[in-house]
Amino acid sequence: MEFRHIPIMLNEVIANLDIKPNGIYVDATVGGAGHSREIAKRLSKEGTLICFDKDQKAIEVSKQRLSGFECKVIFVNCDFCEIKSFLKEQNIEHVDGILADLGVSSYQIDEAERGFSYMHDARLDMRMDRTQKLSAWEIVNKYSEKDLLRILYDYGEESFAKSIVKNIISSRENSPINTTQELVKIVEKSLPKAVLHKGGSVAKKTFQALRIEVNGELDSLKSGLGDMISLLSKGGRICIITFHSLEDRIVKNCFAEHSTNCICPKELPICVCGHKADLRLITKKPVLPSDEEIKINSRSASSKLRVAEKIV
């Protein structure tokens, strides 16, 4: 299968990165290199593009698609939460721009054997890094009831988590839950008929929750965001694309804190924290995809782009 991933809000991202031809830029989630190709086109031979991805297949594909550009391109097969330690090893103290297009790629969803999709039948997997041990199978079949509830509530915001988990526990006592469609049937069995008749897959929230847990997505985002901001040079831009409220809330709150001089509790009469803003919000409200883009790529519908600039 071709590694196909349509870059979300491509024009908006490139415009907001404000690319300097001789700058250093990071694509923290290179995927199919859709955004990176446009960044590389704008860099001179003095420029550098550093591409991170947990998925080895994405690294292999992006190496092919980014060959032939005159800028220096570095590929890193690891989670972007390791960005600071990697750049330190490369003696790179600051960069001029960072992009992170979060979530799962279209290729990962469409490649049935990866087990990301509730639309295809495959072994429960969902690993972006296929060398790691933890998969959706281990979570569904081995996690405790308490941990399954936590995942579905916290990462899926699933209202029917108790019923779903109860039926998962009951089902796996008889035999392991091996495939995506087995899990979909359990979820469907757990929901009221009125919800089932609303249309769309009722397993979406459960699959999102499992994927986030498997890949440690929110933990990586929380730890990686601060490092990304600290690595930006003065005037450098950071662009983050999110696809659900959990991600967007983390980015929004992080940008808000970094763009505020005082973060003391409001009841204190004077500032005692000494906190100084190091970011300026470029987008006070998130940029949304156009109606035209959504028509072309329906998977862009839930995306939001937030941009900030380093001011110190």
Mean pLDDT for 91-112 is: 89
> Tokens 């979530």 — which residue?
103
Residues 302 and 264 in one domain: yes
Band (1; pLDDT cuts 50, 70, 90) = low
Examine residue 5 and state whether it is found in any structural domain, yes or no.
Answer: no
Last residue within a domain, chosen from 175, 195, 215: 215
Residues 227 and 204 in one domain: no
Residues 30 and 71 in one domain: yes
Q: List the domain range (segments joined by +) for residue 184.
A: 121-215
Residues 162 and 178 in one domain: yes
Of 63-67, 94-98, 113-117, 218-222, which gets the smallest average pLDDT? 113-117
Above pLDDT 90, what percent of the chain? 85
Give the span between the Cα atoms of 215 and 219, in whole angstroms.
9
Examine residue 28 and state whether it is found in any structural domain, yes or no.
Answer: yes
Band (14; pLDDT cuts 50, 70, 90) = very high
Examine residue 107 and state whether it is found in any structural domain, yes or no.
Answer: no
Give the bridge partners for 52, in sequence order: 76
Mean pLDDT for 128-151 is: 97
Residues 25 and 160 in one domain: no
> Structural domain tally of the chain?
2
- Contact status, residue 141 vs residue 176, Cβ threshold 8 Å: yes
Mean pLDDT for 109-121 is: 87
Give the span between the Cα atoms of 149 and 209, in whole angstroms.
10
Q: How far is CA 248 from the centre of its chain?
A: 10
Examine residue 146 and state whether it is found in any structural domain, yes or no.
Answer: yes
27-61 confidence digits (pLDDT tens): 999 999 999 999 999 999 999 999 999 999 999 99
Residues 173 and 234 in one domain: no
Mean pLDDT for 183-196 is: 90
Instruction: Provide the CATH number for the domain around residue 165.
Output: 1.10.150.170
Last residue within a domain, chosen from 215, 243, 261: 215
Residues 32 and 75 in one domain: yes
Instruction: Provide the CATH number for the domain around residue 71.
Output: 3.40.50.150
58-99 confidence digits (pLDDT tens): 999 999 999 999 999 999 999 999 999 999 999 999 999 999
The SS3 assignment for 196 reads: helix
CB atoms within 10 A of CB 138: 12
Residues 129 and 95 in one domain: no
The phi and psi torsions of 146 (rounded to 5 degrees) equal -60, -45
Q: How many angstroms separate the Cα of 287 from the Cα of each of 28, 149, 238?
A: 19, 33, 14
The SS3 assignment for 235 reads: strand
Residue 199, pLDDT above cutoff 70: no
Residues 196 and 135 in one domain: yes
282-297 confidence digits (pLDDT tens): 999 999 999 999 999 9
- Contact status, residue 131 vs residue 57, Cβ threshold 8 Å: no
Last residue within a domain, chosen from 215, 233, 261: 215
Examine residue 258 and state whether it is found in any structural domain, yes or no.
Answer: yes
Residue 109, pLDDT above cutoff 90: no
Give the span between the Cα atoms of 42 and 23, in whole angstroms.
10
Examine residue 2 and state whether it is found in any structural domain, yes or no.
Answer: no
Residues 19 and 95 in one domain: yes
Residues 90 and 133 in one domain: no
Say what the pTM is. Answer: 0.92
Residues 196 and 245 in one domain: no
Above pLDDT 70, what percent of the chain? 98
150-159 confidence digits (pLDDT tens): 999 999 999 9
Give the span between the Cα atoms of 164 and 149, in whole angstroms.
9
Segments in the chain forming alpha helices (H): 10-17, 34-41, 56-65, 83-89, 106-110, 136-142, 145-156, 161-174, 180-190, 193-196, 204-215, 217-231, 245-258, 291-296
Residue 235, pLDDT above cutoff 60: yes
